[in-house]
A and B are shown apart, each in its own frame.
Chain A
Amino acid sequence: EMQLVESGGGLVQPGGSLRLSCAASGFSFSSYAMTWVRQAPGKGLEWVSGITSGGSTYYADSLKGQFTTSRDNSKNTLYLQMNSLRAEDTAVYYCAKMGIHFIDYWGQGTLVTVSS
């Protein structure tokens, strides 16, 4: 059974950093592009970043330079390094598996709260 389990969320102070992890199982992780999507409380979905199976990365314009996505295919794990966090980065962060040009499977999400 396919599973994506996010971890690393929590409370962080403004200006701080956090690294999210997403452990994948039940499919050939190294063969698929992956993506991060976030959802602020009571708001809509926002695409954050994507990484191809080969490791090329893409970011939402508003987040370039602030977030870094990486993957470790030997550990079947996706990462999101988040720096210089602001209150507006408070959201549930979803890890998701890509089909070709669509998300075909989502994790359950991890909540990041940026507050003093």
Chain B
Amino acid sequence: QSALTQPASVSGSPGQSITISCTGTSSDVGGYNYVSWYQQHPGKAPKLMIYDVSYRPSGVSNRFSGSKSGNTASLTISGLQAEDEADYYCSSYTSNSTRVFGGGTKLTVL
């Protein structure tokens, strides 16, 4: 199972919006509405930000949103804040009942 493809890095200024893409195949991202997104600050465990493509867990800011089109899922962060600077990973359920992560995207808030 190959890792999902994410951009290595994205950046934005405070208040701006950014979008991180996550590209897979019809055997994972495209085949199921089971894409999730995780935020990880340095030295910390990851935190769930989005599940099932577009649902936000309780306590996650509504500045975070998710979507999917075909084999590509996206995470959008609006109103960028300094605290959003972190690594972001997508993950998907796969056709053989396993999970796969993306390579991760480093978000820099300028």
Contacts and interface: CB of A to CB of B under 8 A. Distances in A.
Interface of A: 35, 37, 44-47, 50, 58-61, 94, 99-109
Find the residue from B1, B91, B99 having the highest chain A CB count within 10 A.
B99
A103 B45 contact: no
Nearest to A4: B45
Contacts of B101: 37, 44-47
B97 interface: yes
B12 interface: no
B18 interface: no
Contacts of A105: 48
A103 to B, nearest CB: 6
Contacts of A109: 45
Contact of A44 (B45, B99, B103): B103
Contacts of A102: 34, 36, 48, 51-52, 91
A14 B48 CA distance: 34
Nearest to A46: B101
Interface string B43-67: 0011110011000010000000000
Kindly list the 5 A-B residue pairs having the minimum CB-CB distance in the complex, ordered from nearest.
Answer: A102-B36, A101-B34, A44-B104, A102-B51, A106-B45
Contacts of B24: none
10 contacts: A37-B101, A44-B89, A44-B104, A45-B40, A61-B98, A94-B46, A99-B51, A102-B34, A103-B46, A106-B45
Given A58-B97, A104-B51, A104-B57, A45 B89 contact: yes
Given A50-B99, A103-B36, A104-B57, A44 B3 contact: yes
A107 B46 CA distance: 9
B45 A108 contact: yes
Contacts of B103: 44
A47 B45 contact: no
A47 B38 CA distance: 13
B45 A94 contact: yes
B3 A103 contact: no
Given A47-B91, A103-B48, 6 more contacts: A37-B101, A47-B98, A50-B98, A101-B34, A102-B52, A104-B57
